[in-house]
């Protein structure tokens, strides 16, 4: 039941996210729908032939045989951009330090909407070194209060880290 609730929550989030016209998000929603349907039918295997629990564990647990783990230490994980006019671009850079004991590798960074684009370092960040994740938000067609989430997947523990940007977009003609 706990697993089902987890996937239903993911599915709900995916529907919210799918309001953006990003085809990648549509594929994710379809994948989540299929997984929820499998759970409801009592089939505990994912479409790739592995158990759902194994998929969850592998996504949440980094594999570092020597026991040394990299660690994100962000200066901030939420940025409030205030009020901008619809059509304005908002750019913000999130700075982090690898406060762990192994090189930090960002595998992916995905925004909750196609209107938000993250750029991240593709090379490993050594322990004690800093890195930056630049986030660009296009407010065109996004009036009123906005909150966008950037989900980072890295070889850290936990593997998922979330950044948020939010603010108010004044509609055109106001």
For 55-100, the pLDDT digits (tens) are 333 444 445 667 789 999 999 999 999 999 999 999 999 999 999 9
CB neighbours of residue 136 within 10 Å = 15
Entry pTM: 0.64
State the DSSP H helix or E strand holding residue 71, giving kind and residue range, or none if neither.
Answer: none
Could you tell me the pLDDT band of residue 173, with boundaries at 50, 70 and 90?
confident
The tokens for 8 are: 């239903």
Q: Domain residue spans in the chain?
A: 2-60, 72-170
Tell me the angle at which helices 2-17 and 52-60 cross, rounded to the nearest 10 degrees.
Answer: 70
**CA 72 to CA 127: how far, in whole Å?**
10
SS3 assignment, position 58:
helix
Q: What is the DSSP letter of 126?
A: P
- For residue range 103-162, list pLDDT tens digits in order: 999 999 999 999 999 999 999 999 999 999 999 999 999 999 999 999 999 999 999 999
| CATH code reported for the domain at 72-170 | 2.60.40.10
Residue indicated by tokens 């995916």: 14
pLDDT value, residue 51: 34
CB-based contact 160:60 (threshold 8 Å): yes
CB-based contact 101:138 (threshold 8 Å): no
Q: Check residues 137 and 48 and name the one with the higher pLDDT.
A: 137
pLDDT value, residue 15: 45
Q: Over range 156-171, report the average pLDDT.
A: 96
CB-based contact 128:116 (threshold 8 Å): no
SS3 assignment, position 88:
coil
């Amino acid at each position: 039941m706990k697993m089902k609730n987890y996937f239903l929550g993911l599915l709900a989030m995916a529907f919210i996210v799918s309001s953006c016209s990003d085809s990648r998000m549509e594929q994710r929603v379809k994948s989540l729908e299929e997984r929820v349907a499998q759970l409801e039918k009592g089939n505990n295997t994912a479409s790739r032939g592995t158990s759902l629990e194994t998929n969850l564990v592998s996504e949440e647990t980094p594999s570092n045989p020597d026991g040394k783990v990299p660690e994100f230490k962000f200066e901030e994980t939420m940025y409030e951009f205030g009020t901008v006019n619809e059509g304005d671009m908002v750019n913000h850079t999130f700075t982090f330090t690898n406060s762990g004991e192994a090189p930090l590798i960002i595998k992916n960074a995905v925004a909750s909407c196609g209107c938000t684009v993250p750029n991240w370092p593709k090379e490993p960040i050594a322990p004690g070194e800093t890195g930056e994740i630049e986030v660009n938000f296009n407010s065109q067609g996004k009036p009123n209060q906005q909150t966008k989430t950037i989900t980072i997947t890295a070889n850290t523990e936990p593997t998922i880290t979330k950044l948020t940007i939010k603010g108010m977009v004044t509609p055109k003609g106001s």
